[in-house]
Amino acid sequence: MNAPATHSAELKLPVLETRKLKNNFGAEIFGVDLATASEDELAAVVAAFHLNGAILLRGQTMDPDALVRFVSQFGQPEKHTLTEYTIPTHPFVYRLSNRIRDGKPIGIHNDGVGWHTDYSYKQEPVMCTMLYAVEVPPEGADTLVADMVAAYDSLPEERRRELDPLQVHHSYQHFMETRDFNRRKLTPEQLADSPDVMHPLIRTHPANGRKALWPSSGTVKGIPGLSTEEALALVDELVAYGTQEQFVYRHKWQVGDVLMWDNRCTMHTGTLFDDQKYIREMHRLWVKGDRPY
Ligand SMILES: [Fe+2]
């Protein structure tokens, strides 16, 4: 006799084979080909992402159309600030690369070095970041992702109470004029597009209510109630605290890797590589996010 249909049966997603990336954080997903996956499989991948803070799928073959289709499962794709580095036919696909084609760089080189969360200087920072590896050097160019929920949870209760009410002043202009690589003055249009914003230092995840330490760095200009020196020292201290080895997953890239992390509860950074010896090409996509609280 057939079992009666139930709502829970209708909502049941395929069970994915996974393993944790680091302690209780992140998941590597096995046995899913993203370019040909069924709707149910993709829904299960999205669910795994929201549960784990980061996901990794290796051995993928994704052209720009497939990348946009996949990232759209997570929400509305977000455009990029420096449009000269996007694929001309695909404005949502941004290239990180040291490759030169017809005398021009096809992507931005050495972007994303220094602990941060993407678009922290926007009113609504991107919810997630996806990187797809097209060409990778045999050494260097690692991506490190820090579990800022674990970092927050590990703080003494009194310290958490002190930090809970603090707001952080983020500025894209400040970031672009002071960073280590690709420093530049913004055009009036770029300035108008990214006015300064205030975000909480401790961010609540809208899907699960968990709190994360969310200092970012680079874009921080100050903290109301503290002097600039105190504010920057506090951010430096918290970034150093939250990026200790026990909270960090270090990803060593292989061609075909898809790595995605949830910017609402992580920070990330990249490491350098020998760019005279090797070519690197990564495709990055973003998904729109909400106002942090
Ligand atoms: Fe980044």
Could you report the per-residue pLDDT of 7-49, keeping only the tens digit for each?
Answer: 444 568 899 999 999 999 999 999 999 999 999 999 999 999 9
Q: What is the pLDDT of residue 10?
A: 54
**Residue 114 Cα to ligand 1 middle (Å):** 9
pLDDT, one tens digit per residue, over 210-245 is: 999 999 888 999 999 999 999 999 999 999 999 999
CA 289 to chain centre: 11
Encode pLDDT of 63-84 as tens digits.
999 999 999 999 999 988 778 8
For ligand 1, the distance from its centroid to the CA atom of residue 120, given in whole angstroms, is 10
**Residue 254 identity (one-letter amino acid):** Q
Each residue's pLDDT tens digit, 157-190: 999 999 999 999 999 999 888 877 778 888 998 8
Instruction: Please report the domains of the chain, with CATH numbers, ordered by start residue.
Output: 18-287 (3.60.130.10)
The predicted pLDDT at position 8 comes to 41
Ligand 1 center–CA 14 separation, angstroms: 31
Q: Give per-residue pLDDT as tens, 85-115.
A: 999 999 999 999 999 999 999 999 888 888 9
CA distances from 88 to 71, 94, 96, 106 (A): 18, 10, 14, 10
Q: Locate tokens 């920057």: which residue?
A: 232
List phi, psi (to 5°) of 18. Answer: -135, 160
Question: Distance, CA 89 to ligand 1 centroid (Å)?
Answer: 23
